Amino acid sequence: MAKAVKAKRGYVSTLRTGQARATRARILAAAQDRFEKRGYAAITIAEIARAAKVSPESVYAAFGSKRKLLAQMVELAISGADEAVPMLQRGWVETMRWLPDGAERLRYWIGHTCETLERTGPVHALIRGAVASEPALAGLRREQQDFRLRMQARLMGLIEEAGGATLRHDVATSAQTFWALASPELHHLLRVDRGWSKARYRGWLTDALETLLLKR
């Protein structure tokens, strides 16, 4: 009898976890839709809740605040998964580690970065616009920029430790170069404002980073 009760509780727990994930996904989708259409400042938690067909209390319980909801949108856009995954535990980083040559690792990393920038561009543009109307969000933008630089320094270390290619400069300087050239802001300028194709942007970024980062 005890075993049957345990199985039932496990089933209920799994069901509730699945329902909670579905609710979070619905809230995130509703928030992004509203933010992109009307701007971050104009949207309330109550409006997001109505669009997601949940109560405002459910939104607060899942995310805590509108700022944290926006931060979660960025993280999920970057990871490309239903749940946030630590950067260095993502599958593409493991694939990068298996590449034997530093130049190969760099090209693979650049390709992944281009795909990520395509996916996250709208969310980064949303944050830049939101900062103009709500200066308090400048802290969130700085946090995202600092996090991106820290992770790029860790990934640049994978280039340095690989055979074949040699970095022109130390890891910290190389990471800052990658951080600047592969920034969401520059991606927006070239892909949106200048109308570059994805292929042209990727080719330019690859040429620029290989020239500036690797010794020939």
Instruction: Find the angle CA(136)-CA(149)-CA(198) to the nearest 5 degrees.
Output: 95
CA distance 121 to 114: 10
Task: Dump pLDDT digits (tens) for 42-58.
Answer: 889 999 999 999 999 99
Say whether both 53 and 78 belong to one domain. no
Residue 84 is predicted with a pLDDT of 58
Do 86 and 192 fall into the same domain? Answer: yes
Residue where one domain finishes, among candidates 64, 82, 102: 64
The residues near 204 (Cβ < 8 Å, ≥ 6 apart) are 190, 196
pLDDT for the residue numbered 95:
93
User: Does 60 share its domain with 149?
Assistant: no
Q: Pick the residue with more confidence: 84 or 53? A: 53
Mean pLDDT confidence for 88-98: 86
- Say what the pLDDT of residue 17 is: 67
| DSSP state at residue 81 | S
Residues 103 and 198 in one domain: yes
Least confident of 114-118, 130-134, 157-161: 130-134
In DSSP notation, 134-157 reads: -GGGHHHHHHHHHHHHHHHHHHHH
Average pLDDT over residues 30-50: 87
Residues 82, 58 within the same domain: no
- What local confidence, expressed as pLDDT, does residue 164 receive? 81
Reply yes or no on whether the pLDDT at 192 is more than 90. yes
Token couple for 119? 């996916």
CATH of the domain at 107: 1.10.357.10
182 in the same domain as 119: yes
Q: Is residue 51 domain-shared with residue 69, that is, in the same domain?
A: no
Task: Give yes or no: residues 51 and 75 share one domain.
Answer: no
- Decide which of 42, 64, 86 is a domain's last residue: 64
Shared domain check, 102 and 44: no
Q: What is the pTM of this model?
A: 0.77
Residues 91 and 149 in one domain: yes
Q: How far is CA 182 from CA 35, 109, 113, 150, 205, in A?
A: 25, 11, 7, 14, 7
* 130-143 confidence digits (pLDDT tens): 887 777 778 888 88
Give dist(CA 175, CA 162) in Å, integer.
16
CATH number of the domain where residue 55 is located = 1.10.10.60
Domain hosting 110: range is: 65-216
Of 81, 83, 101, 82, nearest to 92 by C-alpha is: 81
Q: What is the Rg, in whole angstroms, of the alpha carbon atoms belonging to the chain?
A: 21
Asked whether residue 75 falls in the same domain as residue 59, the answer is no
Q: What would the two tokens of residue 38 be? A: 């009307």
172 and 114 inside one domain = yes
pLDDT for position 9: 57
pLDDT of 15 reads 58
- Count of structural domains, the chain: 2
Please identify, among 64, 84, 113, the residue that sits at the C-terminal boundary of a domain.
Answer: 64
When mean pLDDT is compared across 55-59, 90-94, 149-153, the lowest value belongs to 90-94
* Residues written for the chain: 216
